[in-house]
Amino acid sequence: MDQKKLAIIATKGTLDWAYPPLILASTAAALGYETQIFFTFYGLQMVRKDLSVLKVSPLGNPGMPMKMPFGPKWFKGINWNIPNAVQSLVPGFESFATVLMKQTIKNNGVATIAELRSLCQEAEVKFIACQMTVELFGFDHSDFIDGMEYGGAATFFEFAGESDVCLFI
Amino acid sequence: MNFDKELDARGLNCPLPILRAKKTLGELGGGQVLKIIATDPGSVKDFAAFAKQTGNELLSTAEAGGEYTFFIKKK
């Protein structure tokens, strides 16, 4: 049987949305898939050397539970339903939410983005950054981790056209 | 059951138990057995799926006191 192939386009630049492409890519690699991720637009943020740019925003995201990662169980269970108007007015609300999210991730034994990213690279998942958006956003190749390749849409299709699974995330 | 290596994946969540298991299996030879202990309830279905897709044989799955024990024989 030929080796299966997974092609992913990663387009989101928040802490929460950095998870799906990296979890799926690393798992696919462990299952024997040849895997590539094409990072474009905001997805470029998850392959920066500096990952502190990844934040999570509860603003305009009604699906996001706002729960505290500390205290007794009954306290952790409370969903802090804070109106958007309040969230947008409180300075640092996003940073606060990000700190809570990172603590929740840690408490649950979920890997960090940096960890998943290096697991992908160890498993030879190929990372390709969209050169057009790198330039559009004023990034330099030195902003990104080692081992990146740079290319465009045609580069993506060269692999994606042969893939068994192709995901836009 | 006899095993050649043990992996403690307790406290780890998806996809880490699978990724660690894959890596640890790489250190074993064909026919050798890896014992894995995990606490992630999702790992029960995941290890079955992992075994099916990679051809490594899942010899047994057991649950006791919130801990899951798997024995996987390397292909």
Amino acid at B40: D
pLDDT exceeds cutoff 80 at A138: yes
| Pair A79, A66: CB distance under 8 Å | yes
pLDDT score recorded for residue A87: 86
| Pair A54, A15: CB distance under 8 Å | yes
Mean pLDDT of A83-110: 90
Q: Decide: helix, strand or coil at residue B11.
A: coil
Mean pLDDT of A6-22: 97
pLDDT score recorded for residue A1: 57
| Pair A151, A53: CB distance under 8 Å | no
A40-89 pLDDT, tens digit each: 999 999 999 999 999 998 888 888 888 889 899 999 988 888 888 888 88
pLDDT > 90: what percent of chain A?
76
Domain ranges, ordered by start, for chain A = 5-53+112-168
pLDDT > 90: what percent of chain B?
97
B contact test, residue of A119, A120, A122, A164 with most B CBs within 10 A: A119
Dist CA B17 CA B19 (whole Å):
6
Dist CA B15 CA B12 (whole Å):
8
More confident residue, A64 or A141: A141
Rounded to whole angstroms, what are the CA distances from A157 to A160, B19, B24? Answer: 5, 28, 34
Mean pLDDT of B30-42: 95
Amino acid at A52: S
Domain ranges, ordered by start, for chain B = 5-73
Chain B segment 18-57 residues within 8 A of A by beta carbon are 18-19, 21-22, 39-40, 50, 53-54
pLDDT > 70: what percent of chain B?
100
At the top level of CATH, the class of A5-53+112-168 is alpha beta
Confidence bin at A150 (pLDDT 50/70/90): very high
Helix extents (H) in A15-112: 19-30, 73-76, 84-89, 93-107
Mean pLDDT of A21-43: 96
Phi-psi region of A147 (alpha: psi -120 to 50; beta: other; left: phi over 0): left
What values do phi and psi take at A98, rounded to 5? Answer: -65, -40
Comparing CA positions, the residue from B25, B71, B5, B65 lying closest to residue B41 is B65
CA distance B2 to chain A (A): 25
The residue of chain B nearest to residue A108, with distances taken between CA atoms, is: B13
What ipTM goes with this model?
Answer: 0.83
| Interface contact flag, B13 A110, Cβ < 8 Å | yes
Mean pLDDT of A89-95: 89
Fold type of domain B5-73 = Translation Initiation Factor IF3 (3.30.110)
Mean pLDDT of A155-167: 95
DSSP string covering A11-32: ---STGGGHHHHHHHHHHHHTT
| Interface contact flag, B53 A31, Cβ < 8 Å | yes
